[in-house]
Chains A and B, each alone.
Chain A
Amino acid sequence: MSGKRVVIFGGDPAGVAAALAQAKAGMEVILVESSPSLGAERLPQTRIVTNGGSPYLESDWDAVKRHPNIRVITNADVIKTTSVDGTYRFHIRRRTPRVDPEKCNACNACIRVCPIHMYDDFNEGIGFRTAIDFFNPKTGVYNIFKEDMPICQATCPANLDIRSYVGLIADGNYAASLAKIRERLPFALSIGRVCPHPCETACNRGYVDEPISICTLKRFVADWEMHHAVDPPVDVPEKFSDEKVAVIGAGPAGLTCAYFLAKAGYQSVVYEAMPEPGGMFRFGIPEYRLPTPTLMREINWILAHGAELRCNVRVGKDVSFEDLRKEYAAIFVGVGAWTGMKLGIAGEDLQGVIDGVVFLRDANLGKKIDARGRVIVVGGGNVAMDAARVSWRAGFEEVHVFYRRTKKEMPASPWEIEAAEHERIKFQYLVAPVEVIGESGRMKALKCLRMQLGEPDASGRRRPVPIEGSEFVVEAETLIAAIGQSPDLKFVPEESGVKITRWSTFDVHTETYMTNVPGIFSAGDCQTGPDIAIRACAGGRKAAAAIVRYIEGNRRGSQVKGPE
């Protein structure tokens, strides 16, 4: 190699000029441009240089093309840069050129007949552009502009093929629509009921009138199957492999993982600490949002694919983690986040102070709730909303929700807040608890402080700042703290060497979901921290695919990537 190599990103006139200058200085130049050709694709009109000649660009495209030391890579992006000992390495991804530039003679015939009209970003939408088009009048390189996945699909953590399944519902082909959903998600019934549907927030139809009701449509097809007593198909290979996988936790992530493992021909054993399967679906989400018979129909169908369920088995107590490692080809951990965060105030261990997830679990287990007097729910997330609405149903006289920011900053879904307001749950914003006041070991009142909003913090929301001397006392018999959860990973012994982050979650590879210890995979809340169910399902599916690759790789002697 003669001299040093230089990489230049961007083929606009500045990039071209830099490339020529560097080449003249004896460097080997690589010019990377993201559009299909060099040139003025997105150059503001005001910056176009006129030099008496062409009103377009005076840059020496031809000089760049002719120069022996300049290599032009168009239609490509730099996706990753690493630096080692003063040198850089670039990963460049070139998108598929869909027109062969050697054969194209710019006859225009394709443009004349192309049926797809698209937004013309070159002319800021004055005219139309066809899907196959030249992207720069100066250089005239043709290519097909192919859109990525639709915005709803890209937004969905599980990347459900929404376009197709909504279309199939419109065609009236419900069975095919459900099959389409189940290619990526086994929980159509449950997710259709509980999902906060980020896809609808992103839906482009929202700019015209209102978004497509994607979530409710999913619920509709799933309900259609349930109400018409159609047996969902159990589609598994004829023969399962000898290797078995242990799945810890029968929640959204674990069951999704077991489902996709079975579809790929691997049986699994699902360990569940609670007396019934379902995880957060069963014990975290109140009955009125997701009825148990509905959930159980779906879980029984998943288990029918070839997963063995062992309830009332707590890993680390009834069976050791290391034993599982010896017995199974791989382990998937999807134990969720069940430990409520502490409020960190005085008197928190008094009787009557209860944790949000524990309260919901007890309610779902059918334990008797001591519903007397007034209850205060502290927090503004969906767990707080669920806890408030469940306590209203349990028969507390008054239900209050205290949140330290305002309604605008509340992380709970707006429709849940609205429903809670309809149930006459009293909201108090900009209030933070300071001390639980007790009497003979039992909570009697809660001392609070008024807040005001200050500067935005790391999450982008404005930080609440206490107002001096604004203390007040509210009498209440029960306090439910719903200010967040974290996973309890104490069952993983230290000797196993599994790395646990400071948020008490697993550190996994972003694509394979494998922890730093080969053969141990994790997804769901115990990997992401408390999050929405569909993300847990998405993680479960991707982990299942990686587990299959891991086991098959072990047979052949290749490896799956762990976290970096």
Chain B
Amino acid sequence: MRALNRKIGKATAAALIFVSLFLGLQAFALRGGTCEEALSRCLDDVFTQAFGSFGMVYCAIGFAFCKRYIDPAG
């Protein structure tokens, strides 16, 4: 029973981190500034860092979309 509780607790924590990561990464779409600034903020994000290279892929894709869609000088 204790093992099951521990498992559920871990799953909940992972889900919470995921949700927070998704919310945090909206920085690219919502905040102003250049794509480089947005990328820097994304890489600084504690949740991005928690996901290592996955987090970097999120940020890099955000940068690519920003350059293509948002940056007027891009």
Q: Do A and B come from one complex?
A: no
Which residues does A use to contact B, with CB under 8 Å? none
